[in-house]
Structure 1
Amino acid sequence: MWFSRATLNRLFLLALPMVVSQGALALMSFADRFFLSRISPVHVAASLGGGVSFWVCLCFFNGIAAYGNALVAQYFGRRDMRSCPRVVTQGIMLAVVAMPLLLLLAWPMLSLFEWMGHAPELVALEKPYFLTFMSGGFFFLVKTVLASYFSGIARPRVVMIADLIGVFLNIPLSYVLIFGRLGLPELGIVGAALGTVIACILSIAIYLLFYFNPIHARRFHLRKSFVFMPGIMRRYLRLGLPSGFEVLIGMGTFNVFLLMFQSYGVAEGAAMAIVFNWDMLSFVPLMGLNIALMSMIGRTVGAGDMSRTNEVISAGFVMAVSYAGVMGLCFVVFRESLLRMFATPGMDFSPILAVGAPMMIGMATYVVADGLILVCSGVLRGAGDTRWLMVASVSIHILTLIVQVFVIRVWQLGSLVSWYVFVAMLITNALLYLWRVMGSRWRHPERLARVMLE
């Protein structure tokens, strides 16, 4: 657990723009749900169910696309500048292939809301929110590919700039579209989703301005990058598919759990949406640290120099645990005040508060576990240990979902019992990942050499 100040500074400078970027995206979703809470608790609950269902459909392809960060970092560490933008070309090709598959997934997903026993008024809002997001699925994938590229070449400020501009557009745009201001029609929950899609397209435009900058284009031989490269595509799929499958099972089981939990009632569903809104503000910035660690470890793998890996990992643990500990303390001390921020004017908030307050305590318990999970997964993905991550994550999530089916459907236990089973799963996941990182198999020279093979 020793690290030099220089290592901590390098990780901090790389992670800070990514933390700001991911925090901005969390703020965007936070603002949308806050605006929707001004309409009704049903709108807040629907935004969680519909939004998570969209990310379940997208997450497999998005998980593959996001692995471009490690691929680019590995080529960048090897000083193979020509291959870095070729990863972007392969990623966009994958996004084109993914779009028709996403549209095919949309229709069976629509029936899932009713099958889970949601109230009719909830289903009526979840469906249009989900479909609006699905219509912009291609743009979200392209944005992930471009963000991963700039993270991989150690230019996180570009990601920060693009995301901040997107958020600064999204928040007022969503307000206008939700409530029908400036002569526009009042779109309600559809306006929240539409504003996010438009903001995503603007962020892509910002990325492309940096991508086609003449200085950047010459350094990375951009003109010769717009070709299909079988070797790079094979690496993308060989290392990215386990990541995509891991995220798919994780998000899929989480979505089924969430939809089952919402069958407890509107108050429970709204309480979960509010709690996860605050959870997102603590979790998503840690994703910035995860991306930074993936990039740093990827560059050491590409350069064939793993000598300072332990310093990077230790610095990552200190940053994650310190941040998560402070956030967890805030969630416990200010739990009722944080919940009341989403109270709909003129409506009785006490049923939501009764469920949400103990849930906030549970969330404070697992935020440190989230930090450990993200540090460990960033390190292992950067080193190409995606197959082990897939097996471990899939096993834990499927086991947890089976337990939740018994808790909610078979034994019909209370909502807080189900919630604390979820908390226990996250803590178990963190301990398993920590065990892997503290071992040595993932950093064996022969295994790392196979990671670089095309």
Structure 2
Amino acid sequence: MSQTAQNRGTPSTRDLFGLAWPLGLKAIMLHGIIVVDAYLVAPLGEAALAAMGLAGALAGLLLGILFSFSNATQIRIAQAFGAAGPVALKTSFFCGLLINLAATALGLVVVIFFGDQIIDYFAHTPEIADQAIGYLHVFLWLVVFEAVGQCLSSHFNGCGNTKLSFYSYLIAMPINIGLSIVLIYGLYGFPELGVVGAAYGSAAAAAARVAFLGWRFWRSEGDIIAAKGWSKDTFRHALKRHWLFSLPIAATFISMSIGTQVSMLVYATMTVNEFAAMTLIMPWVQTAGVFGMAWAQAVGIAVAQLLGKDLDEASLDEFLSRAWRASFVASVFVALAYLVIILMSDRLYDDLQQQTRAYLMTFLPVLLLLPFPKGSNAICGQTLRAAGDTVRVMNIFLLGQWVFKVPLTILFVIYLDLHIAWVFALVLIEELVKFPPFHLRLFTGNWKRAQVFDD
């Protein structure tokens, strides 16, 4: 730890990097669950892939809501960890676990009663519908396991042990791949289950991950489990506070998911080459930006811990300034990653038409600028959430998406028929719209005086 950080009791840049890199790699592995399944079933043909995509859309929404609640729990646990109280840690963990289980139960009810009808409506053939329904019904077990697993991950992440959650995915991924291959194709005497076999592999991997994290939690957190009492005197009051903290974070995710789907439907009205270019670049925008977001998430964990310790304002300012400078460096690397992706597009997609490649090249100016406001906004958002200002963060996201990005996407594509470069530029415009309210809110300094655990 640097001398300055040591004197002020704040994490060094190296400490933050130690928090961030497991979060980034874990996020990539997390996104890879359905990607791996799709890759393994690809030899079964387009119908199998269509079934995977259809079921994956519903399953991904359930997991996303679960992860948003878990992110809120992670912040609350980080605040409790900073306050150095086993009672607060126990309260945050069990509140988060109960909310996860309740959200999962509600999601399961909706999928069980309406999921089959939704799939039947959107599936092109009965065969695709049958495969998608079979995959989804088994995949629901993964959602149940992740309700517990994500809460356990949130606990370890909030306590600063982000590597443990990453290690759990290192255990889960080989199980997922190995068992899925065996069950998809019926190897070694096992039944040939096709698409459904991939779901069994994913569910078994999630169960193994939960078992590992649960074992480590039982071994290392005995004092937390044994702590007497609850924060806010009663569990009911603590649960209400946790819920009010979590709800805006979950609402932000749901709003972003709906906005993304609306935008994709609008993109689908463009020419085939334009839509292909947008479809190809959007996953790269998310994947290459993972590490910038992981850095911001690590900053949020550290800020929550420091606020729990009731650190003085000067130390908080010094810490956030260092984190911000490092975020700028991370943005440079993300921009370089985008540059490589665009320049290598000929090799990555050698069967693309020339017009599609030309559209991809027009995205480059936006991609080189995007990481900087996006990274800075992410630092602001995570810091404000760590201070409990979740409603303001939600409102800023809603402003950027529903007042600007979605309406302008409809205007640019359907009414003005602008060049695709202007349409793609909206991802940057959205960040620029959010930039002033995020930074003005942070610069007021109220976050430094937040009483995150006055229990």
Which of 273, 294, 304 aligns to 1:298? It is: 304
1:131 Cα deviation from its structure 2 partner: 4.7
Q: Which has the higher contact order (CA 8 A, sep 6+)?
A: 1
Q: Which amino acid aligns with 1:310?
A: L
Q: Which amino acid aligns with 2:381?
A: S
Equivalent residue runs for 1:41-440 within 5 Å: 47-48=52-53, 50-106=55-111, 107-108=113-114, 120=125, 124=129, 128-213=134-219, 215-218=220-223, 220-222=224-226, 224=228, 229-259=235-265, 261=267, 274-305=280-311, 306=313, 307-308=315-316, 309-340=319-350, 349-350=351-352, 355=356, 358-359=359-360, 362=363, 364-365=367-368, 366-399=370-403, 400-405=405-410, 411=415, 413=417, 416=420, 420=424, 423-424=427-428, 426-428=430-432, 431-432=435-436, 435-436=439-440, 439-440=443-444
Separation in 1 of the partners of 2:157 and 2:107? 26
Deviates more, 1:189-198 or 1:429-438: 429-438
1:8 Cα deviation from its structure 2 partner: 1.0
2:20–2:291: 8 Å Cα contact kept in structure 1?
Answer: no
Cα deviations by residue, 1:118-167 (Å, 9 ceiling, x for unpaired): 75589646655555434532222222211111011111121121122112
Query: Kindly tell me: are residues 134 and 216 of structure 1, through their superposed partners in 2, closer, same or farther at Cα, counting changes over 3 Å?
Result: closer
Q: Which residue of 2 aligns with 1:25?
A: 30
Q: Which amino acid aligns with 1:244?
A: A
Separation in 1 of the partners of 2:418 and 2:101? 44
Separation in 1 of the partners of 2:59 and 2:119? 12
2:146–2:206: 8 Å Cα contact kept in structure 1?
Answer: yes
Separation in 2 of the partners of 1:88 and 1:268? 46
Separation in 2 of the partners of 1:267 and 1:120? 26
Separation in 2 of the partners of 1:38 and 1:415? 37
Deviates more, 1:236-245 or 1:15-24: 15-24
1:239 Cα deviation from its structure 2 partner: 1.2
1:360 Cα deviation from its structure 2 partner: 7.5
1:18–1:156: 8 Å Cα contact kept in structure 2?
Answer: yes
Q: Which residue of 2 aligns with 1:10?
A: 15
1:372 Cα deviation from its structure 2 partner: 3.6
1:180 Cα deviation from its structure 2 partner: 4.0
Query: Kindly tell me: are residues 133 and 4 of structure 1, through their superposed partners in 2, closer, same or farther at Cα, counting changes over 3 Å?
Result: farther
Deviates more, 1:322-331 or 1:126-135: 126-135
* Count of residues paired in the alignment: 436
2:87–2:227: 8 Å Cα contact kept in structure 1?
Answer: no
1:30 Cα deviation from its structure 2 partner: 4.1
Cα deviations by residue, 1:28-52 (Å, 9 ceiling, x for unpaired): 4443343344455675566455434
Q: Which amino acid aligns with 1:162?
A: S
> Structure 2: which 5+ runs fail to align?
6-10
Q: Structure 1 length as normaliser, TM-score? A: 0.80
Cα deviations by residue, 1:262-303 (Å, 9 ceiling, x for unpaired): 577998887666544444432334443233122101011111
Deviates more, 1:29-38 or 1:159-168: 29-38
1:170–1:195: 8 Å Cα contact kept in structure 2?
Answer: yes
Separation in 2 of the partners of 1:259 and 1:62? 25
Q: Which amino acid aligns with 2:182?
A: V
Separation in 2 of the partners of 1:322 and 1:288? 15
Q: Which amino acid aligns with 2:321?
A: E
Q: Which amino acid aligns with 2:69?
A: I
Q: Which amino acid aligns with 1:395?
A: L
Separation in 2 of the partners of 1:203 and 1:265? 43
Separation in 1 of the partners of 2:135 and 2:437? 35
Q: Which amino acid aligns with 2:215?
A: L
1:56–1:252: 8 Å Cα contact kept in structure 2?
Answer: no
Q: Which residue of 1 aligns with 2:8?
A: none
Separation in 1 of the partners of 2:142 and 2:14? 38
1:275–1:339: 8 Å Cα contact kept in structure 2?
Answer: no
Separation in 2 of the partners of 1:8 and 1:316? 7
Match of 1:67, SS? helix
1:85 Cα deviation from its structure 2 partner: 2.6
Cα deviations by residue, 1:340-361 (Å, 9 ceiling, x for unpaired): 5xxxxxxxx446x854773576
The RMSD of aligned alpha carbons is 3.8
Q: Structure 2 length as normaliser, TM-score? A: 0.80
1:65–1:144: 8 Å Cα contact kept in structure 2?
Answer: yes
Query: Kindly tell me: are residues 168 and 46 of structure 1, through their superposed partners in 2, closer, same or farther at Cα, counting changes over 3 Å?
Result: same
Q: Which amino acid aligns with 2:323?
A: I
1:8–1:315: 8 Å Cα contact kept in structure 2?
Answer: no
